[in-house]
């Protein structure tokens, strides 16, 4: 049997075939595009999650560093003597980070290796700088860098009094938010041939570091500002005083930008003695006079410190 192909039919069949192929290609393109977008989205989430973990780790360094400083300070308050505060704090922080790294492994499935590079003073006496080398791996993502964190020392105990007068040798003590020197400071001054050392019998000082809000400091001469400063136990910035890390090592002065605090006498004696800024009492030892000779609780200050705080001697 003989049959004849219709040209019109060929055109229709060809058109249908082209249309079908186009639809198939379109579907393949759409599916691939969706898969690609899904893959990119997963990668983005993964990357953001990894960044969050590293950021969270860095954020926690601030508190862990502060806890390490506090732990070192407590040694002094338990009759230990410190010779290398920075080195000790590095060891304490490294040990704490080992535990933190294990916790991050359990919580996030990330492998973290860390090593404290340095513990440093800063241009602010209220901060300590930590630098930590961190290597981290999770799935196909990696981090290798140095994390930097500033830890506040505000609210921590002042290490200098117990570093200078170790509890094992002295009757220094503390209660509430105040340090009581009893006879320990006057004996220390007597041993250093300071005139008028008797004025420092029963002297007191603040226990914890609190930054003085009265800035500029000359406002201490206004109204009841000095009285409130002493009551609150505020510390003051000082280029002559020592930073917190050096205070841990028993240094009353150091090359860093530091702090000072008033050691308050409670004596009816009117004679002069060493000026009551702590770096003067424990290192410089130059003389001062009571601001008010008739006030048992009057500060003993030299002219330079009196001027710094806007205070005047009563004559």
Q: What is the pLDDT of residues 178-206, one digit of tens each?
A: 999 999 999 999 999 999 999 999 999 99
Q: How far apart are CA 167 and CA 165, in angstroms?
A: 6
> Is residue 303 in a domain?
yes
- Average pLDDT of the chain is 90
- Picking from 304, 258, 216, 301, the residue whose alpha carbon sits closest to that of residue 225 is 216
Each residue's pLDDT tens digit, 132-189 = 999 999 998 999 999 999 999 999 999 999 999 998 788 999 999 999 999 999 999 9
Q: In the Cβ-directed half-sphere of 138, how many Cα atoms lie within 13 Å?
A: 21
- For residue 36, tell me if it sits in a domain: no
Give the pLDDT band (50/70/90) at residue 13: low
Please state, in angstroms and rounded to a whole number, the distance separating the CA atoms of residues 164 and 282: 8
Last residue of a domain, one of 92, 125, 152: 152
17 falls in which pLDDT band (50, 70, 90)? low
Q: What are phi and psi of 169, to 5 degrees?
A: -110, -10
Under DSSP, the state recorded for 124 is S
- Residue 100 burial (C-beta neighbours within 10 Å; 0-12, 13-18, 19+): middle
Residue ending a domain, among 152, 179, 195, is 152
Do residues 134 and 166 both lie within one domain?
A: no
**Percent of the residues in the chain that have a pLDDT greater than 70, as a whole number:** 85
Q: Could you give the angle at the alpha carbon of 206 between the alpha carbons of 240 and 285, nearest 5°? A: 40
Q: Which residues make Cβ contacts (< 8 Å) with residue 156, sequence separation at least 6? A: 66, 69, 70, 73, 208, 209, 244
237-282 confidence digits (pLDDT tens): 999 999 999 999 999 999 999 999 999 999 999 888 999 999 999 9
* Final residue of a structural domain among 152, 169, 199: 152
Is 0.75 topped by the overall pTM?
yes
Q: Are residues 211 and 284 in the same domain?
A: yes
% the chain with pLDDT above 90: 81
Give me the domain span that covers residue 130: 51-152
């Amino acid at each position: 049997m003989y049959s004849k192909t219709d040209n019109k039919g060929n055109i229709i069949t060809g058109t249908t075939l082209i249309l079908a192929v186009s639809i198939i290609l379109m579907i393949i393109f759409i599916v691939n595009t969706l898969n690609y977008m899904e893959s990119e989205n997963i990668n983005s989430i993964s990357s953001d999650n990894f960044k969050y973990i590293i950021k969270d780790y860095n954020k926690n360094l601030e508190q862990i560093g502060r806890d390490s400083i506090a732990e070192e300070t407590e040694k002094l308050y338990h009759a230990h003597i410190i010779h290398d505060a920075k080195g000790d704090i590095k060891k304490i922080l490294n040990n704490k980070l080992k535990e933190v790294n294990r916790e991050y492994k359990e919580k996030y499935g990330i492998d973290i290796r860390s090593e404290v590079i340095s513990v440093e003073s800063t241009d602010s006496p209220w901060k300590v700088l930590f630098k930590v080398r961190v290597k981290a791996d999770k799935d196909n993502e990696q981090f290798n860098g140095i994390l930097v964190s500033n830890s506040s020392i505000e609210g921590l105990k002042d290490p200098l009094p117990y570093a200078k007068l170790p509890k094992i040798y002295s009757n220094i003590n503390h209660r509430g938010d105040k340090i009581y020197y009893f006879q320990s400071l006057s004996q220390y001054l007597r041993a250093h041939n300071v005139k008028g050392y008797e004025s420092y019998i029963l002297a007191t000082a603040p226990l914890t570091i609190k930054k003085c809000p009265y800035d500029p400091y000359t406002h201490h001469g206004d109204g009841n500002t000095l009285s409130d400063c002493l009551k609150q136990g505020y510390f003051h910035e000082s280029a002559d005083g020592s930073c917190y890390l050096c205070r841990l090592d028993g240094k009353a002065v150091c090359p860093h930008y530091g702090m000072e605090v008033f050691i308050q006498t409670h004596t009816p004696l009117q004679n002069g003695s060493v000026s009551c800024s702590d770096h003067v009492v424990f290192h410089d030892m130059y003389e001062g006079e009571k601001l008010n000779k008739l006030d048992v609780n009057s500060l003993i200050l030299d002219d330079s410190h009196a001027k710094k705080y806007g205070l005047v001697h009563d004559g």
